[in-house]
Amino acid sequence: MHMADALISPAVGGVMYAASAAAIAYSTAKIKNDTLCEKRVPVMGVAGALVFAGQMINFTIPATGSSGHIGGGMLLAGLIGGPAALLAISAVLIIQCLFFADGGLLALGCNVFNMGVVPCLLVYPLLFRRIAARWAGHRGIAAASIVSVVVSLQIGAFGVVIETLASGVTALPFAAFAALMQPIHLAIGVVEGIVTAAILCFVYGARPEIIESAGKGTRIGGGVPIKKVVAALAVVTIATGGLLALFASSYPDGLEWSIEGVTGAAELEAGGAAFEGAAAIQEATAFMPDYGFAGDDPPPVGTSVAGIAGGALTLLLAGGTGLIISRAKARKKQAA
């Protein structure tokens, strides 16, 4: 559901940049020192890398000619808490945008809001935690994951429709666009919810303290070993980005499918200095556009290289951000 620049106006893009930046600042301030303890930071880094790799795998939605991929915001929130999850998913989206030209630079604020702010700061605290608390254990986590992901994607998909409407994109009439966006992302949400439930239930079965402390915003106990869980997530990340991404569906994703259903083409075009400037920046920074090597007939191994490289970059950015914030909070606490 990565929006391209042609779907928004520069004004709407600027407003959404401001909204997302404010949400990130709020999340940074909201994070407690105990939340990003020395055991949480590695989980933040490897979970961010896992989401990056997971987003490379488009799965086919039967009988539609469309595909979808995980958003990952709810998965991250379940593992590290909502505020930290927003920082991690923002790292994923920034790396995708700048280094792989996935999602527009002008639309980055929209993408962070739709795929990060909505699940991490709205749906996770208001829905996921309440459902998980109502039914303890694996059943509660599974139910919370599926319901919360579906709701998040419905809100995020509708956000895309509203943002195009506010931008005056006349090629995408509100009613027709919404009539395609909502049901296709309902189907995508069910699949992502099941994937999210499976991963969170695995982690809960191995170390329930990780999930429980994330929901409460408390420290993972010093006597709780997490190396095996982090190692398992790292192995899944490498396998996903390095191997499974090679088998991703070639069908257009839900957003592209919806655009094509309304306009007859999977992409729109936009002209103007702002769009040309954003495109020029991405062209200069994206060393593997579209997750592969440049050229007329790039080898498939480029996808594997992109998956591993992107995962590593996300690990560094998400984990590094968590480490910096953690140390800053610790110094502030000591000074007080």
DSSP 116-173: IIIIIIIIIIIIIHHHHHHS-HHHHHHHHHHHHHHHHHHHHHHHHHHHHHHTT-TTS-
Instruction: Place 234 in a pLDDT band, splitting at 50, 70 and 90.
Output: very high
- Take residue 75 and report the two structure tokens written for it: 């998965």
- For the chain, list the strands marked E by DSSP: 59-61, 66-68
- Find the range with the poorest average confidence among 74-88, 136-150, 316-330: 316-330
The pLDDT mean for the chain works out to 94
Whether residue 49 has pLDDT greater than 80: yes
Q: How many angstroms separate the Cα of 80 from the Cα of each of 46, 157, 189, 209?
A: 11, 24, 21, 11
The C-alpha atoms of residue 184 and residue 153 are separated, in whole angstroms, by 10
Q: Which sign, positive or negative, has the C-alpha torsion 76, 80, 81, 87?
A: negative
Q: What is the reported pLDDT for 293?
A: 85
Element (H, E) at 276: helix 273-285
- Find the range with the poorest average confidence among 138-147, 235-244, 295-304: 295-304
Q: What is the reported pLDDT for 333?
A: 77
Instruction: Place 296 in a pLDDT band, splitting at 50, 70 and 90.
Output: low
Q: What is the reported pLDDT for 39?
A: 83
Q: What is the pLDDT of residues 251-283, one digit of tens each?
A: 999 999 999 999 999 889 988 999 999 999 999
- Find the range with the poorest average confidence among 84-98, 136-150, 209-223, 243-257: 209-223
Nearest to 275 by CA among 2, 3, 6, 1: 6
Torsion, Cα 194 317 319 145, to 10 degrees, reads -20
Instruction: Place 220 in a pLDDT band, splitting at 50, 70 and 90.
Output: confident
Q: What is the reported pLDDT for 36?
A: 75
Whether residue 294 has pLDDT greater than 90: no
Q: What percent of the chain has pLDDT over 90?
A: 85
Would you say how long the chain is, in residues? 336
Predicted structure pTM score: 0.96
Q: What is the mean pLDDT of residues 131-151?
A: 95
Domains of the chain: 5-335 (1.10.1760.20)
Whether residue 241 has pLDDT greater than 90: yes
Residue labelled with tokens 């329930």:
208
Q: How many angstroms separate the Cα of 309 from the Cα of each of 233, 243, 305?
A: 16, 13, 6
Whether residue 31 has pLDDT greater than 90: no
Q: What is the mean pLDDT of residues 305-329?
A: 94
The C-alpha atoms of residue 208 and residue 289 are separated, in whole angstroms, by 39
The C-alpha atoms of residue 258 and residue 4 are separated, in whole angstroms, by 13
Instruction: Place 224 in a pLDDT band, splitting at 50, 70 and 90.
Output: confident
Instruction: Place 34 in a pLDDT band, splitting at 50, 70 and 90.
Output: low
What b/e readout covers 270-280, taking b as 16+ CB neighbours within 10 angstroms?
A: beeebbeebbe
201: which residues sit within 8 A by CB, 6+ positions away? 138, 141, 142
Phi, psi of 3 (to 5 degrees): -80, 140
Q: What is the pLDDT of residues 168-212, one digit of tens each?
A: 999 999 999 999 999 999 999 999 999 999 999 999 999 999 999
